[in-house]
Amino acid sequence: MIFMSVAEIAAATGGAPLGVDNSQLDTLGVTFATTDSREVVPGTLFVAKPGEVTDGHKFVPVAFESGASLALVEREVRAESGELYPSVLVDDVVLAMGKLATAVIAKIRAVRAERGEEPLRVFGITGSAGKTTTKDALAAMLRGSGETVAPVGSYNSEVGVPLTVFRADENTRFLVIEMGADRVGNIRYLADMTGPDFGAVLKVGTAHAGEFGGVDNIERTKGELVEGVSSAIVLNADDERVLRMSSRASVPVQYFSASEPEEADRERTLAALNLRANEQGCPEFTLRVPASLNPAGVQEEYEISARLIGEHHVYNLLAAASLALLAGVSAASIAESMNSVGAVSKWRMARTDREDGVSVINDAYNANPESMVAALQTLAQLGRGVPARRTWAVLGAMLELGDASVEEHDRIGRFVVRMNISKLIAVGDIAKPIYNAAHLEGSWGNEATWVETTEEAAQILRAELAPGDIVLFKSSNGARLGPLGDEIAFAPEAYGRAEDQAPTWLSAGDFVELTDMTKIFEQHNEEGAR
């Protein structure tokens, strides 16, 4: 975080300094900010965010014991001695975080301009699916051209976006912002907060349809980014609802597409031609960069064999590439990145090939009808290889679908059968219509199973998985299938692997209780050892 003094924080948030004398207003400051007291280091701004489970104000003393310099609070907090902890008092901590994020970006821009350096470029990414993969791919494409800050995991909310911004400082050249939403106005708020130069809209789906009040409102909200960028917007030409957002743009519009564009749009469309999936289920295609989008000023084509699993990732790669081109990254560098970048954030089509021949695909961080269909299509493609492999779909709830929940889960159950998935396990009450529909569609006997808990699903998998099987875990994060996927992929107990047969990214002494497998998985991702 760029240094922010007490006076600057108070001015940005409209807050009142507490426990600080006038001589400290400009000299006392912070270079890091967090809502988690366990992350506090010397010089930290501890954000005492009230939560549903606990209240951050309770952890202010712990934060200062760990070296915090200042707290952002909604009420006074005193030490046992009765003295106020150095704080900035605001009416609403979350809103104050947004205001402070705006001030941080403005200060970074000003400092870089004063030093005569290349300006900070801010990128906004939104869509009903694919945001996290796109921001990971974009960050990989940008890092060779300058210091890049991108969200950790899926920090895309009114809290997560400021936390991403707070990681930037005066040396940051590129700032990537993932923008999520569950109601009209969310994207506008995040765009106003961060002031993106460039933006990309991936797709309009049915995620959060219940909270939004329908797909039309989702389209309206995702389109708020089109109105919120200052330099250029990139749109998915293959999604009709995204395509028509061009009418809302006051900046130049560029497109990306997985098909041959119309002649009139060819010069402003980044295209993936001859799209297919290889034996590993990864997209392969010819990337065509028209001269008008290429920093080199000439049309170029590159053969791409990506490492992301699923043809649907072509849109995430194209969106990231479009934004990178706007930043001046060479087409050759972008193509090289496309051919090397794999899954970074956890539980997003993360593939693990066990030593016993079982393959696990963990895509259980997020789910909506569109992403569920895409994942199942990929599973079916992998199963149709040579030799053919038995396929398992372990499916949990798609949350926040509102009144359409039963209908959409029912549709997925029928789709499982029509894709000839070998075995289905539906987990949890919300997902039970998946099982019911599959049974009605013709999955009888033990082809389709419903269980109430992940423990029951684990028992079935341990007993029945066989060498050569491919098992997909797919659900919304709240259904908790992600840890089950980790357990089946990495725990030696799941398939009888001895400690001296540990995977290369773990030593024999690293095995822990299954409750800690998520931590191991995160370590695995960070080391890029998939």
530 residues of the chain, pLDDT tens digit each: 999 999 999 999 999 999 999 999 999 999 999 999 999 999 999 999 998 778 999 999 999 999 999 999 999 999 999 999 999 999 999 999 999 999 999 999 999 999 999 999 999 999 988 898 999 999 999 999 999 999 987 788 999 999 999 999 999 999 999 999 888 899 999 999 999 999 999 999 765 555 667 888 899 999 999 999 999 999 999 999 999 999 999 999 999 999 998 888 899 999 999 999 888 888 999 999 999 999 999 999 999 999 888 888 999 999 999 999 999 999 999 999 999 877 666 777 888 889 888 999 999 888 888 889 989 999 998 888 778 899 999 999 998 788 889 999 999 999 999 999 999 999 999 999 999 999 888 866 778 999 999 999 999 999 999 999 999 999 988 888 999 999 998 874 544 333 333 333 232 333 233 333 333 333 333 333 32
- How far apart CA 73 and CA 45 sit, in angstroms, is 10
What is the rounded radius of gyration, in angstroms, for the C-alpha atoms of the chain? Answer: 24
- How far apart CA 153 and CA 160 sit, in angstroms, is 10
Are 34 and 62 spatial neighbours (Cβ–Cβ below 8 Å)?
no
Tokens of 102: 């705006």
Element (H, E) at 523: helix 517-526
**Pairing relationship of beta strands 29-30 and 4-5 according to DSSP bridges:** antiparallel
Q: Is 455 exposed, middle or buried (0-12, 13-18, 19+ CB in 10 A)?
A: exposed
Question: Per DSSP, what are the bridge partners of residue 124?
Answer: 177, 199
Say what the pTM is: 0.77
Per-residue DSSP letter, 446: T
CB atoms within 10 A of CB 500: 6
